[in-house]
Chains A and B, each alone.
Chain A
Amino acid sequence: MYSPEVTQASNFVQGVDTAFLVILGISFFFLIGLTAVMIYFIYRYNRKRNPVATQIHGSTKLEIIWTVVPFILTMVMFYYGWLGWKPMAKPPKDAMEVTVYGRMWNFSFEYENGKRTDTLYLPKDKPVKLNLVALDVLHSLYIPAFRVKQDMVPNKENNFMWFVPQRVGTYELYCAEYCGLQHSYMYSYVKVMEDSVFQSFIADTTKVVAADIDSPIATGKRVMQNIGCFACHSLDGTKLVGPSFKGIWGAEHTVVTGNETRKVTVDEEYIKQSIFDPNADVVEGFMKGLMVSYQGQLSEDDIANIIEYLKTVQ
Chain B
Amino acid sequence: MQKENVANVANYLTYKGKHKGLLGWVLSTDHKRIGLLYLYSIMTMFSVGVLLGLAMKFELLAPGKTIMEAQTYNATFTVHGVIMIFMVVIPGLPAVFGNFLLPIMIGAKDVAFPKLNLLSWWLYVAGVFLVLSAVIFGKGAPDTGWTFYAPYSFKTGTNLLPAIFGAFILGFSSILTGLNFLVTIHRMRCPGMKWSKLPLFVWTLYGTAWIQLLATPVVGITLVLVALERMFGVGVFDPALGGDPILYQHLFWIYSHPAVYIMILPAMGAISEIIPTFSQKMIFGYKAIIASTMAIAFVGYLVWGHHMFTAGMSGTAQYYFSLLTFIVAIPSAIKVFNWISTMYKGSINVQTPLYWAVSFIFVFLIGGLSGLVLGSLAANVHLHDTAFVVAHFHYIVFGGTGFAFFAAAHYWFPKIYGRMYDKGWANAGWLIFFIGFLALYTPMFYLGIMGMPRRYYDYLDDFHGGNILSTFGSWIMVTGLVIIIINLIRSARKGPAAEINPWRGKTLEWTVSSPPSLENFDEIPVIAEDDGPYNYK
Contacts and interface: CB of A to CB of B under 8 A. Distances in A.
Contacts of A1: 450-451, 460, 462-463
Residue among B310, B361, B381 with most chain A CB within 10 A:
B381
A2 B382 CA distance: 10
A302 to B, nearest CB: 26
A66 to B, nearest CB: 4
A27 interface: yes
Contacts of A179: 152
Given A74-B372, A137-B151, 9 more contacts: A2-B382, A42-B350, A53-B345, A56-B344, A74-B326, A150-B310, A156-B246, A179-B152, A184-B70
A42 B354 CA distance: 10
A47 B343 CA distance: 11
Interface string B332-366: 01101110110111111110001000100110011
Contacts of B145: 178
A53 B536 contact: yes
A284 interface: no
A151 B249 CA distance: 12
A38 B358 contact: yes
- Closest A-B pairs by Cβ, 6 of them: A84-B378, A144-B451, A81-B376, A85-B377, A27-B369, A74-B326
B373 A70 contact: no
Given A183-B455, A184-B457, A63 B285 contact: yes
Nearest to B288: A63
B370 interface: yes
Contacts of A290: 155, 157
Nearest to B372: A23
Given A23-B376, A50-B346, A177-B385, A78 B288 contact: no
B49 to A, nearest CB: 19
Contacts of A187: 460
Interface stretch (B276-284, B430-438, B507-515): B276-284
Interface string A26-66: 01001100110110011001110011111111110011001
B318 A85 contact: yes
B322 interface: yes
A176 B311 CA distance: 11
A45 B451 contact: no
A41 B350 CA distance: 11
A294 interface: no
Interface of A: 1-3, 12, 15-16, 18-20, 23-24, 27, 30-31, 34-35, 37-38, 41-42, 45-47, 50-59, 62-63, 66-67, 70-71, 74-75, 77-78, 80-86, 88-89, 136-138, 140, 142, 144-145, 147-151, 153-156, 159, 172, 174-185, 187, 287, 289-290
Contact of A80 (B284, B350, B378): B378
Contacts of A45: 279, 343-348
Nearest to B73: A184
Given A16-B382, A58-B288, A53 B346 contact: yes
Given A45-B279, A45-B347, A47-B347, A149 B450 contact: no
Given A47-B280, A81-B379, A89 B315 contact: yes
B16 interface: no
Interface in B299-345: 310-312, 315, 318-319, 322-323, 326-327, 329-330, 333-334, 336-338, 340-341, 343-345
A195 to B, nearest CB: 26
B343 A74 contact: no
Nearest to B462: A1
B334 A159 contact: no
B76 interface: no
A179 B74 CA distance: 10
B533 interface: no
A151 to B, nearest CB: 5
B51 interface: no
Contacts of B401: none
Contacts of A154: 151, 239-240, 245
B347 A58 contact: no
B298 interface: no
Contact of B347 (A12, A53, A175): A53
Contacts of A144: 382, 450-451
